[in-house]
């Protein structure tokens, strides 16, 4: 069976074309989250990026994991977009945390965590999600995410709390006026992506004690706000994916060890792990 597999976050979508046990090709498009973006943006992604990459590959099945697909309404919108482009094919639209659980844990029981632009946590029994910690987005939650780290950093910058060397380094990256920053947060279509981009600066300066402490504080908030909602979370295997989890994993491991969690697993490329999962299923 020919499978089109998509693994989507707010920043990018990884697409993989699979034929039986073979990866035919893979490519990347802009990300999409139906909570924050007009569905016509997704139509454009399918028409302008995905369809031209297919050549003569005709998908018989589409599986799409995406941030923002936690409601039936959003899943339906995504499904309709696929049907518009590909017609009547077998289709599954699922949440990004379901994809993370399969990529991180396969058929094992454990906790799956996404720390990217946003944050997400679930308890997985090796087949299905048995407990989903509510994902409330960057305005209400998303502790430990890129948006959260960026928010902490930008707040410190605007209040004048950054050490002088960091303050000067940040200003040297461009015209970072208070007005432009606030416009990017309160008037742009993708404020969480703007905030998450600030986390990259923090990562580039993680050797500075201020940045290291900021990330440690963000991960402590993640543990207390999300992981502690799963009783005895330390007893489970805990898997992490997402750019923030991967790039700051040394600090994250340190904070989790302090809480007694030691069975930790990190995956940099969840799309590849998902491809392996489905190639095993298709064989």
**Residue 124: what pLDDT?**
97
The structural domains of the chain, with segments of one domain joined by +, span 2-100+270-282
To the nearest 10 degrees (0 to 180), the angle between helices 191-204 and 209-225 is 130
For 227-250, write each residue's pLDDT tens digit. 999 999 999 999 999 999 999 999
Q: Rounded to an integer, what is the distance from CA 228 to the centroid of its chain?
A: 20
**Residue 135: what pLDDT?**
80
CATH assignment, 2-100+270-282: 3.30.420.40
**Residue in this structure with the two tokens 């909570």, named with its chain if needed:** 35
**Residue 9: what pLDDT?**
78
**Residue 282: what pLDDT?**
63
Cβ burial 78-111 (10 Å sphere, 16+ → b, else e): bbebbeebbeeeebebbbbbbbbbbbbbeeeebb
**Residue 38: what pLDDT?**
83
**Residue 12: what pLDDT?**
86
For 169-185, write each residue's pLDDT tens digit. 999 988 688 999 999 89
CA dihedral 207, 210, 216, 218 (to 10 degrees): -130
Give the whole-angstrom CA distance, residue 106 versus residue 156. Answer: 40
**Residue 35: what pLDDT?**
75
Along the 283 residues of the chain, how does pLDDT read in single tens digits?
899 999 987 778 999 999 998 999 999 999 888 877 788 899 999 999 999 999 889 999 999 998 778 788 889 999 999 999 999 899 999 988 999 999 999 999 999 999 998 899 999 999 999 999 988 888 888 999 999 999 999 999 999 999 999 999 999 988 688 999 999 899 887 788 889 999 999 999 999 999 999 999 999 999 999 999 999 999 999 999 999 999 999 999 999 999 999 999 999 989 999 999 898 876 5
């Amino acid at each position: 069976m020919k499978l089109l597999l998509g693994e989507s976050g707010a920043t990018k979508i990884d697409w993989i074309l699979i034929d039986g046990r073979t990866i035919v090709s893979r490519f990347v498009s802009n990300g999409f989250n139906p909570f924050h973006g007009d569905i016509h943006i997704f139509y454009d992604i399918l028409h302008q990026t995905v369809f031209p990459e297919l050549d003569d590959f005709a998908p018989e099945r589409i599986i799409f994991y995406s941030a923002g697909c936690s409601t039936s309404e959003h899943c339906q919108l995504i499904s309709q977009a696929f049907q518009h482009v590909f017609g009547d094919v077998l289709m599954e639209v699922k949440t990004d945390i379901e994809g993370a659980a399969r990529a991180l844990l396969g058929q094992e029981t454990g906790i799956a965590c996404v720390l990217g632009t946003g944050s997400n946590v679930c308890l997985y029994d090796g087949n299905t999600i048995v407990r989903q910690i509510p994902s409330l987005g960057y305005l209400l939650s998303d502790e430990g995410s890129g948006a959260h780290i960026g928010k902490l950093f930008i707040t410190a910058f605007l209040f004048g709390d950054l050490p002088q060397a960091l303050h000067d380094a940040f200003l040297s990256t461009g015209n970072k006026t208070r007005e432009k920053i606030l416009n990017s947060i309160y008037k742009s279509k993708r404020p969480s992506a703007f905030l998450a981009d600030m986390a990259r600066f923090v990562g580039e300066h993680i050797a500075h004690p201020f940045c290291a402490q900021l990330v440690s504080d963000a991960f402590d908030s993640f543990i207390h706000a999300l992981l502690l909602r799963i009783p005895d979370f330390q007893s489970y295997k805990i898997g992490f994916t997402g750019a923030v989890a991967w790039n700051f994993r040394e600090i994250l491991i340190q904070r989790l060890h302090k809480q007694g969690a030691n069975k930790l697993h990190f995956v940099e490329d969840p799309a590849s792990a998902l491809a392996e999962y489905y190639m095993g299923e298709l064989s």
